[in-house]
Amino acid sequence: MGLLFLLGLFAFCVVIGVPVAFALGISALAAFWYEGLPLMIGFQRIISGINVFSLMAIPFFIFAGELMFRGGIAMRLVKFASAAVGAVRGGLGIVNVFSSMLFGGISGSAVADISALGSILIPVMKEKGYDADYAVNVTVTSSIAGIIIPPSHNMIIFAIAAGGGISISKLFLAGVVPGVLMCLCLAVAAYLVAVRRGYPAEPFPGWIALGLSFVGAIPGLLTAVIIVGGVLSGVFTVTESGAFGTIYAFLVTLLVYRSLSWENFRIAVRQSVRTTAMVMILIACAGAFAYMLTFYRVPDKTVVLLTGITDNPILILLMINAVLLVLGMIMDMAALILICTPIFLPVAHSLGMDPLQFGIMMIVNLGLGLCTPPVGTCLFVGCAVGKLPIEKAVRTIWPFYLAIFVALMTITFIPAISLTLPRLIGP
């Protein structure tokens, strides 16, 4: 009965429009009261939820992404991507995917990817004769590379939600191949749709232009090398690498590219503070909510429930993916990572799945939810940037959904996709 009270109150709060973070906190504290537990314990769980040193990396990653978004790095990455892969039928669609892979691997944010690259590429694609729905759909779906290819603050959230026993640096490594695989699947989808619609190819600018564009992109690309390479080499902790990456991004945009104005710096600071506050409140309240889920033995009951339906590991993993896909359509990604990890990770562990593989599977799955209505943040932002009604985008986005789904199934059932790099070169 207590579990029904917890989940029912949470669902009620979400339905009436209470922000998810506060809905988690309210329902958790109400469950403490319902069970006669001291409310002080509930508040202690809220505080302990963010009393984790690794979480300090999140504001640094967010601020570094904002600086690169406002400081012109995206434009140089687009020029390099266009010179490298633009001379293919529908080349700008593939350029869009390739640019997202590069920028996402630096910013770690899907929304920043859309805001930065979408504002550049969508108008250009329209001008070159591409349909608005195609331009928006490619931009929206490829943006989730930012949450898969390291660094990604969602990976840090997953590591914390898993109990802190997962190496963040290994999780970063585990995301590289799946992120590239997903982008390749999206590039194939973009090419096939472009061929079917008869979109043109861009002329190859020449090897000199390609080389110059690469040189111009190197300072921005080195941000990811500093952040990820510093962690893997053992020179930095995850938090320290985030701090150094932020300093480097600031110096590059200010002194090398000279494209960071005072006004853009102020916007980057304000937006970073706002985003960090939202994430931290969410993590704090989710800590108390997860405690009550454990109190009601939800993880154990979930294992019993799923294994009671079938003992086939393939079917169980498909059911987990189906539940995550549905939840990802209606809830925020960070909240779902914090809620679902303690529930489904024990199930995956009982099937012999490595926590790293499960983490990447979950992040890819929930990333797809960012592109789907009714609560698809990336879809909303992309349609706003492209000035396209959401219903028109959704009507033709299915080939890109299918591409991500193919990548998701590959990641789910082929462990080597996620685990080869961590086992080969992981610290």
**In angstroms, rounded to a whole number, what is the distance separating the alpha carbons of residues 113 and 252?**
19
Q: Report CA 146 to chain centroid distance, whole Å.
A: 5
Taking residue 222's Cβ as centre, other Cβ atoms within 10 Å add up to 16
Distance, in Å, from the CA atom of 101 to the CA atom of 142, rounded to the nearest integer, reads: 8
- Tokens standing for 313? 């590991």
> For the chain, what is the domain count?
1
Domain that holds residue 51: 2-425
The sign of the dihedral angle between the CA atoms of 322, 328, 334, 339 is negative
Cis omega (within 30 of 0) for bond into 219: no
Cα Rg for the chain, rounded, in angstroms?
21
Backbone dihedral angles phi then psi of residue 217, each to the nearest 5 degrees: -85, -15
The DSSP 8-state label assigned to residue 37 in this structure reads -
Q: In 218-340, where do the E strands start and end?
A: none
Q: For residue range 139-148, what is the model confidence (pLDDT) as tens digits?
A: 889 888 878 8
DSSP 255: I
Query: Could you report the per-residue pLDDT of 252-293, keeping only the tens digit for each?
Result: 888 888 888 888 889 888 988 887 888 788 788 888 888 888
Q: Position of tokens 């898993």?
A: 162
- Which helix or strand (DSSP H or E) is residue 74 part of? helix 73-85
DSSP 254: I
Q: What is the pLDDT of residues 46-93, one digit of tens each?
A: 887 777 777 787 788 778 777 877 777 777 777 777 777 766 777 778
Its pTM stands at 0.82
pLDDT over threshold 70, residue 123: yes
